[in-house]
Amino acid sequence: MRLYHFLALSGILFSIGIYGVLSRRNILGILMSIELMFNAANINLVAFNQFLYPGNVWGQGFVVFVITLAAAEAVVGLSLVLAIYRNIKSVYTENMNILHG
Amino acid sequence: MIESLVFYFLAFLVIGFAVVVVTSRNIFHSALALTAALSVVAGIFALLGADFLAASQVLVYVGGIMIIMLFVVMLSQQPTDAIRSQSNPQWPFALLFAIAIAAELVQKYRTFFGAVEARPGILPTSAPIGRLLLTEMVIPFEAVSLVLLAALVGAVVFAQDRQESRLP
């Protein structure tokens, strides 16, 4: 088992997240894909920490902050989704065009 | 050897669940698959020797974020969702773009880090992370608590019902 295996896994997970962000119509699906991308970055940080700088926990400290900020982002994003849903009765991105002009 | 087997098993699971997350027609099934994928990522953290992160991944993501997400999914469903396509017309280009990024990332990682395999013993990490957070990372630690407070207030402000509060 090498560092490369973990990095390849995180790269594949990240690109699956990119596909989800680009192809979903439902804004909740986009938020879920963003969570997948956060997790790919976390795997990357922990793997670099463990393989290149053992005996040091700076990478894992960064992951703690990423998890915290992901929680904050999810809470604000989901409350925005609820506010939008209350106004236009839809969660699809093609209907969110009231700033379209 | 057994570590490699566990790694390939977990990697297969997490990629399979992630594909279900981005392709499922039912958004509720997507949310359940995302819960499973995040739990498997906690297993990968444990495999990498990050015991504290594995525990906090389960507590914060699976126990917190996913429950909120399931609530919002259930609050915002329409009866017509099940029969409409869930991906927009440009999904083939998105697929090409994602495959290109994945191939490029994997190939570059192989070029630059293909030879690294030093792997010392696994140590407990909770005490070093706590010491790091309260000594060298104390300023970002305090800043992130302010961010959490702002997110709390923002969520309350966005989610309240303005129509009712305007009534006399």
Nearest chain A Cα distance for residue B150, angstroms: 9
Inter-residue long-range contacts of B123-131, CB under 8 Å, 24+ positions, other chains counted: B123/A55, B123/B49, B124/B51, B125/A57, B125/A60, B125/B49, B125/B50, B125/B51, B125/B52, B125/B53, B126/B51, B126/B52, B128/A57, B129/A57, B129/A60, B129/A61, B129/A64, B129/B52
**Angstrom distances, CA of residue A24 to CA of A33, B5, B24, B77, B110:** 9, 33, 10, 16, 30
B50 to A13: CB separation less than 8 angstroms, yes or no: no
Q: pLDDT (tens digit, 9 = 90+) per residue, B56-105?
A: 999 999 888 999 899 998 888 777 776 777 788 888 999 999 999 999 99
Strand, helix or coil for residue A15: helix
Give the DSSP letter string of B16-54: HHHHHHHH-SSHHHHHHHHHHHHHHHHHHHHHTT-HHHH
Q: What is the mean pLDDT of chain B?
A: 88
Q: What is the pLDDT of residues B24-62, one digit of tens each?
A: 888 889 999 999 999 999 999 999 888 999 999 999 998
**Smallest CA–CA separation between A38 and chain B, in Å?**
11
Closest CB to B159: pick one of A25, A82, A90.
A82
pTM of the complete model:
0.90
Query: Residue A24 pairs with which residues in a beta bridge?
Result: B87
Question: What are the DSSP E strand ranges found in B59-137?
Answer: none
Contact B86, A25 (CB under 8 A): yes
ipTM for the complex?
A: 0.91
A·B CB contacts under 8 A: 241
CA distances B116 to A7, A48, B62, Å, are 11, 10, 32
- pLDDT given at position B26: 87
CB B45 within 8 A of CB B54: yes
Is there a contact between A76 and B61 if contact means CB atoms under 8 Å apart? no
